A and B are shown apart, each in its own frame.
Chain A
Amino acid sequence: MTGYEYNLPGQPGAWLPGQSGADPTLALPGAASNRLLDMRGIVKSFNVGAESHITILPGVNFHVDRGEFVSVVGASGSGKTTLMNIIGLLDRANQGSYTFDGEDIMQLDDDDLAFYRSQNIGFIFQSFNLIGRISALKNVEMPMMYAGINVKERRERAEHLLEQMGIADRMMHNPVQLSGGQKQRVAIARALANDPPLLLADEPTGALDSQTGRMVMDLFHQLNREQNKTIVFITHNSELAAETTRVVTMVDGRIVSGEDAATPYLGAPAAGPVATSPTSVLAPPAATPQGGGQA
């Protein structure tokens, strides 16, 4: 993996500071003492108690170490979006344990989770999910606003991040005036706003052409390598997944490869049938190639 050295076209190596100071010894996968998140026996069912009861995750073990760049691959309906929602603290598991950075997440209430999310997880969505009526700069400032950072500081940091992403000249534009690649770079700047240890990217290249997608992948590699960001990357694209430090494959709600023997599959839960249909309610959002982000 040390062979990666991606540069943006037209901006050779100039858009991330400290690039030359990259430490290749960082981010060795599998170091248990260096564990960022750890999930055990995660069960997620929907419509519990109703006839339409469906279990998406029948008991998943999943872990991510600091500095890892983990990709999660699987077909539509394999449960990877549900897994991502739980990793991202957007959803709660019905059963199981989840510790993030040593903290037991299952104990937090909704508002605590919201704050915890803003501090620890940066989301990058397939359809960018930028807010259309405010500027790129304001979009980047938003997570800092919810984290309670003062106006001056967050503006400075947002400007700095947009500079890093090479789109300083577009920061006053609204997302509608930006191209797909620019939007995703704004979204990545936004994900980095509170300097979270984990970036959670859900099909971040899905709505982009292959060249722009390549650029975004390079950016992730660079963030992983140079800023030691831990990245969980959810994708359909096995070629892109192969570039990451570890590939976790999901089939029908189970992780079939990529998790080591130390975190074995604990077996199906006692209650409820396991989802077998790949066309479940949890199919990922349809791709919007022209770019969404308009809420």
Chain B
Amino acid sequence: MNIRESISLAFSSLRTNKMRSFLTLLGIIVGISSVIAILTLGHALKMQTTQSIVSSGANDLMVQVTERPKEGEEDTSTSNDPYAAMYGGGGAAPDEASKLDVDDIQRIKDAMGDKISGVPVGSAYGGMGVTLYNGERSQSASVSPVNLDFLELEKVNITYGRTMTQTDIDHRRPVILISESQMFSLFDSPEDAIGGEVELDAQGSSSSAVVVGVFAPNTSGGLLLSSTDDITYTPYTNSGALGYKEESWASLTVRPAEGQDLVQVKSQLQAVLTGMYRSNENFHAEIQDFQASTDAFNQVLDGISAAISAIAGISLLVGGIGVMNIMLVTVTERTREIGVRKALGATRGAIRLQFVIEAMMVCLVGGVIGVLLGGALGIFGSTFFSEMTFPPLSAVLLALGFSLGIGLFFGYYPANKAAKLDPIDALRHE
């Protein structure tokens, strides 16, 4: 009695009771397909998010100017939470002379060479809320003062006109880049927009600026990043026109070049910064990175994915109980067959194997259908917020293995019951 024989017997009995087999399979199909669909969607979400984190600078190093710890005091600036520093935690605000300015940026770039791909100034999330006016037409916007590194690294995609130039920055030109939607609400056509003058009204202070370029909204933001639709970019040297100065910074972002070892870049940058602040008694510059946060985020995402899968897995348990139930019915129905088989030389092991394999086949067939169904569902679902994502191979193997395991677990008891039948009683069974 080999396994192949048992498998073909299992399929013959699956065919014999088609409706019953289908209903039994249904429990497994529902369970497996929901697990696969959830894992596929989770995978798509994770890939998408990781991609957008990386493109938005998850590898960025943040240089933070902080107060030097006084003698005997604990250094509070080495907190591992970059967000605390970002939002004003960690000691007194640095004075103007201790902040980092354009010359410092240049020094860092010179020292780091091709280890870094740039020092972006500006925010992809917007800056100061303003209202743009073109005569009667107005549009609210969020002005982000930026440098050229920012536009390059954030891949701001100019669709009409030109991008910002070094000359714009050097000469503090009042130029702006507006988004396509802003262009359409302020102007009739791209031709009108380029070279057009708009008023920037920032709560009392008002200035005018010339539109030099229009950029397409960032579509690769995924779930994490909001659209860049409402953002307007202007040279950071023009920020004075908006009523605040943005030419020296208490913190800067340094983006390591692709493929560089983050730890190495970090230590080299720290050396550069230490040199720059050697003579400053009150302040020094610390580096923080977002790696820990990224890891934590991924962990949370994996955890959520696993938790939802586990809930979906409960339906697998119900499916497994259904399989057990139907196997018990099958054993009762086939008692006489079991008696005949025993009379003809089947050992207990052979009978047990036959029924366990039958249960496993039911589950495997359900598992395969479930993987196909859940995979289709996941692939279809993923296209709504990401590019088409296929179920991860590990999830497919896990699901099939799990369905076989359910067959083994829930099939063993009925199979053992069959194996222990007394041949005489079984033969006499009506």
Q: Residues on A close to B: CB < 8 A?
A: 85, 88, 90-91, 110-111, 114-115, 117-119, 123, 125, 129-131, 133-134, 142-143, 145-148, 190, 194, 285, 294-295
Contact = CB atoms under 8 A, between A and B. Distances in A.
Given A295-B337, A295-B338, A295-B340, A115 B347 contact: yes
Interface in B328-380: 333-350
Given A85-B424, A145-B5, A146-B1, A129 B336 contact: yes
Given A114-B347, A119-B345, A146-B1, 7 more contacts: A110-B347, A117-B345, A133-B12, A146-B341, A146-B344, A146-B345, A194-B345
A124 to B, nearest CB: 11
Centre residue among A91, A115, A130, A145 by max chain B CB count within 10 A? A145
A125 B343 CA distance: 11
Contacts of B13: 133
Contacts of A143: 344-345
Contacts of B90: none
Interface string B1-22: 1000100010011001000000
Contacts of B337: 131, 295
B427 interface: yes
B428 interface: yes
A273 to B, nearest CB: 22
B36 to A, nearest CB: 33
Interface of B: 1, 5, 9, 12-13, 16, 333-350, 423-424, 427-428
A91 B424 CA distance: 7
B343 A123 contact: yes
Contact of A142 (B12, B334, B341): B341
B343 A147 contact: no
Contacts of A131: 337, 340-341
Nearest to B346: A146
A115 B345 contact: yes
B428 A111 contact: no
Given A117-B343, A134-B12, A146-B341, A111 B334 contact: no
A3 B340 CA distance: 35
A146 B348 CA distance: 11
Contacts of B427: 90, 125, 129
A115 B346 CA distance: 7
Query: Top 4 A-B pairs ranked by shortest CB distance?
Result: A118-B345, A295-B337, A146-B345, A295-B336
Contacts of A88: 343
B12 A145 contact: no
Contacts of B342: 90, 114
B349 A111 contact: yes
B416 to A, nearest CB: 14
B342 to A, nearest CB: 7
Contact of A295 (B334, B345, B349): B334
A111 B349 CA distance: 8
Contact of B345 (A114, A125, A134): A114
Contact of B346 (A114, A134, A190, A294): A114
A45 to B, nearest CB: 15
19 contacts: A90-B342, A90-B424, A111-B347, A111-B349, A114-B347, A114-B348, A115-B347, A119-B345, A123-B344, A130-B340, A131-B340, A133-B13, A134-B9, A143-B344, A146-B345, A147-B345, A190-B344, A295-B334, A295-B337
Contact of B348 (A110, A134, A148, A194): A110
Highest count of chain B CB atoms <10 Å: which of A123, A131, A295 = A295
A228 B216 CA distance: 96
A123 B343 CA distance: 7
B337 to A, nearest CB: 3
Contacts of A295: 333-340
B331 to A, nearest CB: 11
A191 to B, nearest CB: 9
A90 B342 CA distance: 9
A122 to B, nearest CB: 9
A145 B1 contact: yes
A207 to B, nearest CB: 14
A119 B346 CA distance: 11
Contacts of B334: 295
Contact of A111 (B12, B341, B344, B348): B348
A148 B344 CA distance: 12
A285 B424 CA distance: 11
Contact of B344 (A85, A91, A118, A294): A118
Nearest to B15: A133
